[in-house]
Amino acid sequence: MTYPLLRQCLFALDAERAHGIALNAMSFLESTGLLGVVAQPAPACPVEVMGLRFPNPVGLAAGLDKNGDHIDALARLGFGFIEIGTITPRPQDGNPKPRLFRLPEAQGIINRMGFNNAGVDRLLENVRAAQFPKRGGILGINIGKNATTPIDKAAEDYLICLDKVYNEASYITVNISSPNTKNLRELQKDEALDDLLAQLKARQLQLADRHGKYVPMTLKIAPDLDDTQIAAIADALRRHRFDGVIATNTTLSREGVEHLPNGGETGGLSGKPVFLRSTEVQGKLSAALAGEVPVIGVGGIFSGADALAKMQAGASLVQVYSGFIYRGPALVADCGRALAARHGTSPG
C-alpha cells in the first residue's frame, strides 16, 4: 500500500486517533522486520553540529512521539536524528479533546495538545529499552513545564527534567514556545528568558562534571516574534553559551487559513502555512547569531527544496513533522537527497 492511499484511510479518521494507529502500526512493522523494507532511507550526509556527528541533517521534530514509545520504528525511516517529547516532570492529560485538526486544503495542522504526556520517568523507561540510542543514534529530548506549575516556578520543572534526562539524551531541547500551555511564551521575554537560561546553563555544567560528559542544550522558539525580540533572544543565547536554537515552533497566526474548515480552531498552526514566516524568523535569527550558535530549521518543510531553503537561511540541520504526516517516509528521503547533493555527497 502506497503512503498516499494509507494517508487517505488515516485522514478519514479523527486526527488524534489516526496518529496513534499510525505509530502503533509502524512499531508493529518494525518488530516484524518489515518496516525496513518499505522505508526510503535518506542517503549518508554526515555533518557535525553541537559537537555531535549526525549521519544526515534531516531530523524528526518533537511532538510526534511524546513519550518515546516508537523510537526504533521512527529511526528505521532514515532520520539523521530523532527528538522526542515534550515531556514534563509529572504525567498530564493535556487539553480537552478534540485538540488536533487537519487543514488538508492548506496542508496544515492545528493542535492544542497541551503537553499531554506520561511524565519524564515513563519516557526514560522507553529510552532505556530502545535500541536506537544504544547503536549510537542521536536522540534529542524536549523538556517543558507542567500546566499546573505557576509560571514563576517554571524553572523548577525544567531543572527536574534536565537532571533526569541528561544522561540519556544526545542533546536536550528547552521548549518555551508552545502556545498551548498558559503563559509559557512569557518565558521568551527579556528578564524571564535571561533568568531561565542562566539557571539551565549552570545546571548543565554541574551535570557535565557529575556525569563526565557534556550534553548540548538547545532552545526552541516561536515564529511569532518581532525583530527586537529576535535580537534579544540571539543576545541571550550567546551570553549564556547555549549550544543551539530550534526555529521555529507553531504559529498563532491564521493568515491564509481563516476561511478553511477548522481554520479558526485555537492552538498552534504548523505545516505549509507557517513555512515563509518560520524561514524568515530563522533567517533573521541566523544573521543575528552570525554563526556563533547553530540553528535547526523547522516549520513547513514539504520537499527537498524546502529543506534547502532552510539551509540557505542559515540552518545547520532541519526537522520535519507536519510534512511527514502529509507525505510520509518519502519526505525524509527527498530532503536527504537534496541536502546530500548540496554537500556534494553521493546519494548512492
User: Treating both helix axes as pointing N-terminal to C-terminal, what angle do 275-289 and 227-239 enclose, rounded to 10 degrees?
Assistant: 50
pLDDT digits (tens, 9 = 90+) for 330-343: 999 999 999 999 87
For position 1, what pLDDT does the model report? Answer: 53
Q: What is the 3-state secondary structure (H, E, C) of 53-81?
A: EECCCEEECCCCCCCCCCHHHHHCCCCCE
Number of Cβ within 10 Å of residue 48's Cβ equals: 10
Of 170, 177, 178, 286, catalytic: 178
pLDDT digits (tens, 9 = 90+) for 49-86: 999 999 999 999 999 999 999 999 999 999 999 999 99
Answering whether pTM is above 0.95, one says: yes
346 catalytic residue (yes or no): no
In the chain, what are the domain boundaries? 3-342
Residue 88 neighbours by CB under 8 Å, 6+ apart: 115, 117, 119, 120, 143, 144, 145, 146, 157, 161
Quick one: cell of 107?
496542508
Q: Could you tell me the CATH superfamily of domain 3-342? A: Aldolase class I (3.20.20.70)
Q: What angle do CA 228, 233, 236 make, to 5 degrees?
A: 125
Low-confidence spans in the chain with pLDDT less than 50: 346-348
For position 39, what pLDDT does the model report? Answer: 79
For position 223, what pLDDT does the model report? Answer: 97
Contact yes or no for 320/60 (Cβ under 8 A): yes
